Amino acid sequence: MAFKILKEVCVGAETVKVYMLDELGEVLEIETTEKALDFIAILNRNSDNNTTYKLVSCKTHVGTKI
C-alpha cells in the first residue's frame, strides 16, 4: 500500500490542504509506512507554526490509485 503526504496550512481562519508533489509534478507516493512517517516527522519539525503534515493512505479502486 502506498501513502501520500497532506500539507495543511492555516491562512487566517481557513485551512488550505495540498498533497506533496514529486520531482515530476505528480502526487508523491511513498511505499512504506516507516519511510512516510520518518519524512513527516522531519517536515513537521522544520515547518512553520501554521503548517502541519499528515499521512494519507492511497486507496485502490479497479486498479487505479486515488
pLDDT tens digits for range 23-57: 999 999 999 999 999 999 999 999 888 899 999 98
Q: How many angstroms separate the CA atoms of 27 and 17, rounded?
A: 13
- What is the distance between the terminal CA atoms of the chain, rounded to a whole angstrom? 12
Domain-by-domain residue ranges, the chain? 3-65
User: Which position has the higher pLDDT, 47 or 17?
Assistant: 17
Residue recorded with cell 503534515: 53
Residue 17 contacts residue 10 (beta carbons within 8 Å): no
Cell triple for residue 13? Answer: 481562519
pTM above 0.85, yes or no: no
In angstroms, how far is CA 56 from the centroid of its own chain?
Answer: 6
Residue 66 has a pLDDT of 46
